[in-house]
Structures are given as structure tokens and as C-alpha cells.
Amino acid sequence: MDSKGSIKTSEKITPSISLVAAMGAFCCLSSSASAASIVVGTKIGIAPGATVTDTAGNDWNDLATTGTTYNTIHDLDNATLTGVSVQFAGGSINTAGEDNWGGLSTNTSTFNAPAEFVDSVTTDLWFNNATITITGLDTGLTYNLYSVSQGGGSGFDSRDDTHSDMGDVSYGSTTVNRGDARTTGAFHTFLDVSPDGAGTIVFTTTELGNNPAFNGLLIEAVPEPSSTALLGLGGLALILRRRRK
């Protein structure tokens, strides 16, 4: 301010710059607050077509178009996961739903089905050989994958569906009878799958008649087995040390 009480130009600009900077910082904070990183315990649900159970703790990604890469993926708590994307390739999606093949309407604790697999997750179907590529996973963690193939109704109960996983190495394949999946909740299970160096896991479905069914894939982040072993050894060492005292 000069001797006449007028504000100099530089004094007018400085508060404006500060305000713009503050607003920019606020925007950045707001944006980052809505995103989340994968940590131990993070669960991601991938289902072809719509699900009606999109509630907190069980919010699946409803992906309904093949030949598409989905760049906004959220966990079961509906928190968007930073840098994670899912690509659907091959096959066709049928969203005829429960009236066509029943779903897991009797999904109870007596079945093998993880609790997150509710009826509406399994009522839409992706058929023919298909591939799901998940990228952007944390390479410092491993992942348990659970998938189900039970579509087609009782007329297809004699078919066997094979699911396989590729991460840093091939994790082989599992084959489940479709009738067992439909009536008893039998699931494909892959434990401690490590992504490759780019954070990618590739999931594929096949069936002898080239018409496999896929209804849902649940991915759960878990500690690396080596990390768990080290924690166990550390705990054992602490116990032995206390006993010596």
C-alpha cells in the first residue's frame, strides 16, 4: 500500500495466487480421497451383467461388454482402486438372468460358495471361451481367486468347465462339473497367485464343447506366503526369548 492508501498491483495479485493454489490443493485432496490402494484384505468382485446386491461390503463390478477395457474398478466397499483395470475379451454375455438358470438362490453356509457370491452375482452368464485380464495389482501381495461356472440350467449339468490363471507363472487349472456348481456351490479356487512384474493376472475359461460358462470372479488380496512365514518366525523368536528370561 502506498502513501495514499492505494493497493499496489503486486499486493492485489498475491492473495489471488494463494487462493488458486489453495483451491487446487483442495481439489487434489478431494480426488485422492475417493481413490484407494490395494491392501491385504481388499476384495474385488467381477461379474458379467448387472447385479442387484450393490451394497456396502458387497458391491461388484458389473461389466457387460466383451472386447472392452474397464479403467474404473472398485472394491467390494465401492472404493475406486488406483491404477487397476480389467479387460474382457472373447465370449458372449447373456443377461437373461435367474429365470434362465436359477443362480445360487440357496447359497447357504453348507455350500462351498464364498459369502460374497450371492444369487444376483451368478444369474448372468458369460459363455464361450473368454479371458479376463486384471492389471495394476500390487506386486508386493498375492491373491486368492474364486470363480464359478454354473449357468445353463439343469440341461447342462453334465458339462465340465475349466478355469486357469496366469500370473508370474502358470497356476494351472481347475475343472468343476457344472451340475455340482449349480446345486452345491462348487467353486474354482486358486490360492496365493502372484501377479507378473507389471501387476497382471490373466484368468481364462474353457470347456470341451467350446461353450464354457462363467458367472463371477472374486479376487482377494493376501500377504505373500514368505511374509507370513517371516512374521511367524519373528513371533516364535520373541516367545523363545521371553522363555529364556
Is residue 190 within 8 A of residue 171, CB to CB? The reply is: yes
- CATH numbers and ranges of domains, the chain: 35-228 (2.60.120)
pLDDT in tens, 108-155: 444 566 778 776 676 778 888 889 999 999 999 999 999 988 776 677
- pTM as predicted: 0.76
Residue-level pLDDT at 13: 40
**Phi, psi of 11, rounded to the nearest 5 degrees:** -75, -30
Cα–Cα distance measured from residue 157 to residue 114, given in angstroms and rounded to the nearest whole number? 21
pLDDT tens for each residue of the chain, 245 residues long: 555 555 444 444 444 444 444 444 444 444 444 578 999 999 999 988 777 666 667 888 988 888 999 999 999 999 999 999 999 998 888 776 554 444 554 544 445 667 787 766 767 788 888 899 999 999 999 999 999 887 766 778 888 999 999 999 999 999 988 888 877 778 899 999 999 999 999 999 988 776 788 888 999 999 988 554 445 555 555 566 666 65
Helix (H, G, I), strand (E, B) or coil at 199: coil
Question: With DSSP H G I counted as helix, E B as strand and the rest as coil, what are the percentages for the chain, rounded to 5?
Answer: 25, 35, 40
Dump pLDDT digits (tens) for 91-113.
888 776 554 444 554 544 445 66
